[in-house]
Amino acid sequence: MTLFRNLKLMTAIDSEKGIGKDGGVPWDLPTDLAWLEESTSKTCDPCKRNAVIFGRRTYFSIPESDRPYKGRLNIVLSSSWTGEEQSSNDVVYVRNWTEIERTLEKFSSELESVWVLGGSAVYQHALQNDLIEEVRITEIQKLFSCDAFFPEIEWRSRFEAADERQMTENGVSYSMSRLLRK
């Protein structure tokens, strides 16, 4: 199987499936952020790295000091990409999913896992096209009046829970779950 058909998805959602507000993340959950960092950067083979896929708005919502994600191949999907931002060995700009697949093939010898990190349209495409083998999801039991949302599509029936832990941090209760494709 190719990397392209075995992607991993990571997200955090509030009680109404919100994933963002005003171009950022409206909650402060350091344990969830550490889980994102560890999940997307850790490899079994020290000679390899992981890739992360973002939509353009999601990528540029990350503080400039934190992007690109270090030690990972950052793939930024933008149908309106004009070539203004230049690709490098750490950041590759693509216009569509076919270019993502080509990029993953090009870098396949140095990649271990590929993580889909949003936004909504990127999540939707990956789930609808059955590209995801694992989901890591933080479900926050609080409403944050988000303006960006996880897609309203049925996907959970294709996955089964591998593990889950309950947390409370900064007065916010949430669960962190890992689900695997059946």
Task: Parse the chain into domains and list their residue ranges.
Answer: 3-181
Side chain identity at 42, as an amino acid letter?
K
Fill in the DSSP letter of residue 4.
G
**Which three-class secondary structure state does DSSP give residue 109?**
helix
Alpha-carbon distance 85 to 82, whole Å? 8
Give me the mean pLDDT over the 164-176 stretch. 97
Domain 3-181's class? Answer: alpha beta
Instruction: Give residue-wise pLDDT tens across range 4-22.
Output: 779 999 999 999 999 999 9
Alpha-carbon distance 166 to 70, whole Å? 28
Residue in the block written with tokens 């216009």: 95
Is-contact 53 92, C-beta < 8 A? no
Give the pTM.
0.94
Residue in the block written with tokens 């950022």: 24
CA 75 to chain centre: 11
Q: Check pLDDT > 60 for residue 39.
A: yes
The chain-wide mean pLDDT, for the chain, equals 95
